[in-house]
Amino acid sequence: MPVLSVRHVTTYRYKQPVAFGEHRMMLRPREGHDQRILDAALAITPKPVELRWLHDVFGNSVGVARFSGRAKELRFDSTVRLDHAPINALDYPINEDASSYPFAYDVDELPDLARSIERQYADPDHAVERWARKFVRRNGPTGTRDLLTRMTHGIRESFDYIARSERGVQAPVQTLRLGSGTCRDFAVFMIEALRALGLAARFVSGYLYVPQAGGRVGGGATHAWLRVYVPGAGWVELDPTNAIIGNRDLIRVAVARDHRHAIPLHGTWTGFPADDLGMTVEVSVTAVEPIPVAVPKAALQP
């Protein structure tokens, strides 16, 4: 299991000292069978008068910081080291009745999946739905694995990745019309395409590990992708920006039904609008040597 180190530094700068309101941060990766935090540190300057942690409605770890006084700079410096187990989720068995599309979700699971199936964006001309149905065979069954793989690769091959620092996402119909977008635009677009087919999908925010010869795009900042629920396989990670199936090189931090519930860091400040000098974000994800585990001598004896 490789060990990865993530450093995420966000700095806000101002012309003169300003007051800071509450800031909420999603910087701590979600732990599970495929990733486990070894250690984590968070340095905030100026130091908040209160820092507390909570789990939101989706089970994400959220830090809440409150401040007093004023400053010309606000800096959040997060460092996390974790075990990360690459998994190709589609190698796992899919329930026989869900191996081909279309399929129906179990009645016991459907109430919890329903809101993740609902469309969130207008598609008056059904353009996104028509695009999604290009991956469904007209004659004969469509394999579920094939559908998800072809759609993920289809976005990577047909759309141009363009970095954009502004907050928010493009409407899926706009992404389709432009044929370009950011990782979060592609994630939201594919979520809507899958939902148009009646599949449950959720937005994921986190980090991307880019090996030297990895050919990945979207490194050096926070990254976005999605999850789709497949009976038998569970929540399958899909990164249309890099055509990744499964969680390889993807460090999951926040999962939500809507991208607006998975913002890495946001808050308020009080001052004149002209005081704002902007924000910088620096993200680095590096592989480190696994920590040797001491084995008791008795365990080495035959």
What pLDDT sits at residue 290? 54
What pLDDT sits at residue 216? 84
How far, in Å, CA of 146 to CA of 99, rounded? 10
What pLDDT sits at residue 289? 63
Q: Residue 298 pLDDT > 90, yes or no?
A: no
CATH number assigned to the domain comprising residue 179: 3.10.620.30
Q: Are residues 56 and 29 in the same domain?
A: yes
Q: Residue 293 pLDDT > 50, yes or no?
A: no
What pLDDT sits at residue 220? 84
What pLDDT sits at residue 214? 62
Flag whether 123 is in a domain: yes
Q: Residue 297 pLDDT > 50, yes or no?
A: no
Rounded percentage of the chain residues whose pLDDT exceeds 70: 94
Rounded percentage of the chain residues whose pLDDT exceeds 90: 85
Q: Are residues 93 and 163 in the same domain?
A: yes
What pLDDT sits at residue 1? 62
Q: Are residues 232 and 283 in the same domain?
A: no
Q: Average pLDDT of the chain?
A: 92
What pLDDT sits at residue 292? 47
Q: Are residues 114 and 210 in the same domain?
A: yes
pTM of the model: 0.92
What pLDDT sits at residue 300? 37
pLDDT classification of 77: cutoffs 50, 70, 90: very high
Q: Are residues 140 and 212 in the same domain?
A: yes
What pLDDT sits at residue 245? 94
Flag whether 302 is in a domain: no
Flag whether 144 is in a domain: yes
Q: Are residues 190 and 255 in the same domain?
A: yes
Q: What is the pLDDT of residues 263-278, one digit of tens each?
A: 999 999 999 999 999 9
The residue range of the domain holding 282 is: 3-84+263-288
Q: Are residues 233 and 273 in the same domain?
A: no
Tokens of 83: 């075990």
How far, in Å, CA of 214 to CA of 1, rounded? 18
What pLDDT sits at residue 167? 80
What pLDDT sits at residue 168? 87
Three state DSSP letters for the chain? CCEEEEEEEEEEEEEEEEEEEEEEECCCCCCECCEEEEEEEEEEECCCCEEEEEECCCCCEEEEEECCCEEEEEEEEEEEEEEECCCCHHHCCCCHHHCEECCCCCCCCHHHHHHHHCCCCCCCCCHHHHHHHCCCCCCCCEEHHHHHHHHHHHHHHHCEECCCCCCCCCCHHHHHHHCEECHHHHHHHHHHHHHHCCCCEEEEEEEECCCCCCCCCCCCCCEEEEEEEECCCEEEEEECCCCEECCCCEEEEEEECCHHHCCCEEEEEECCHHHEEEEEEEEEEEEECCCCCCCCHHHHCC
pLDDT top residue among 253 and 218: 253
List 230's β-bridge partners, or say none: 234
- Give me the mean pLDDT over the 244-266 stretch: 95
Q: Residue 29 pLDDT > 90, yes or no?
A: yes
Q: Residue 301 pLDDT > 60, yes or no?
A: no
What pLDDT sits at residue 213? 62
The total of structural domains in the chain comes to 2
- Give me the mean pLDDT over the 97-120 stretch: 96
Q: Are residues 252 and 274 in the same domain?
A: no
Q: Are residues 201 and 183 in the same domain?
A: yes
Q: What is the pLDDT of residues 147-199, one digit of tens each?
A: 999 999 999 999 999 988 778 899 999 999 999 999 999 999 999 999 999 99
Flag whether 301 is in a domain: no
CATH number assigned to the domain comprising residue 42: 2.60.40.2250
Q: Are residues 174 and 60 in the same domain?
A: no
